[in-house]
Amino acid sequence: MKFWKMNGAGNSFVIFDDRKGGLGLAPEQVAAIADPKTGVGADQVIAMEQTLRGDVFMRIWNRDGSSAEACGNATRCVAWLVMEETGKDKLVIETVAGKLKADRIAPDSRGMARIAVDMGSPLLKWEEIPLAERMDTRGIDLKIGPIDSPYLQLPGAVNMGNPHVVFFVPDLDTVDVKAVGSLVEWHPLFPQGVNVGFLQVLSRTETRLRTWERNVGLTLACGSNNCAAIVAAARRGLTDRKALVHNDGGDIEIEWSDVTDHVIMTGPIELEYVSEV
């Protein structure tokens, strides 16, 4: 089977073209492909499928073979592939979480291709995240560390097609992302699990983020978590509604429109190679 190995700001993908059908990947096959020891190695495995409601349908599996609702960085990669194939500069990509509009943007200063994706409106009600109980999602009642002196607390909660919490930290380098992320990922407060972000605010328009992704683990970037982070920060008055996010794998620009309420994510994509498994 032919595949494209791509990444968006370091978030890596194996992408298959299943628009003619017949791919039929089972969860254990996905896990084997995503595992660098048994396959190619990737954060997610993607299948492009036919759709009558857009230009392409994007099916997403996590590294462990479980299904995912949305993936912003993968959306940019799939959009670029279809744009290169069709010559279009605008596309509609359908996902389990809904339709996403993608636009080709001018390359960055290094000549790297960039794609902007309209990720839609964030869901902010406690039952939309979803949470197990009613809370103010600007700062939910979740504490990490000693009860009388927690070192992390009151993360913001946002659903960007999938659930996210974002902790605001003064120094990202002092946070054990793996330990805290794995602890929070399947906390009883999150019946569907949750993606865990750790955001350091550098200024009103610049931030730094690290992400522990649900069913994946530590990633170099997570597009939907970048969106959730800036929405959560803006709701707390910590940043403007448009800000740059520095990820371990690259920079992503996020703008939460105060007109449409939609979140626009703009970032780089890279085709690493094309091969077969």
CB 13, CB 41: distance < 8 Å = no
From 82, 97, 177, 222, the catalytic residue: 222
- Region of 85 (left: φ > 0; alpha: ψ -120 to 50; beta: rest) is alpha
**Cα distances (angstroms) measured from residue 258 to each of 165, 174, 179, 241, 242:** 22, 34, 36, 8, 10
Six-digit token pair at 190? Answer: 């999150």
Cα–Cα distance for residue pair 96/89, rounded to 1 Å:
23
Cα–Cα distance for residue pair 112/77, rounded to 1 Å:
12
Cα–Cα distance for residue pair 260/264, rounded to 1 Å:
10
Instruction: Please say if 77 is a catalytic residue.
Output: no
The number of beta carbons lying within 10 Å of the beta carbon of residue 89 is: 12
Degrees, nearest 5: CA angle 271-92-232: 80
Chain-centroid distance of CA 93 in Å reads 15
Q: What is the dihedral of CA 109, 114, 117, 123, to 10 degrees?
A: -50
From 71, 227, 231, 254, the catalytic residue: 71
Catalytic positions, written as ranges: 71, 222
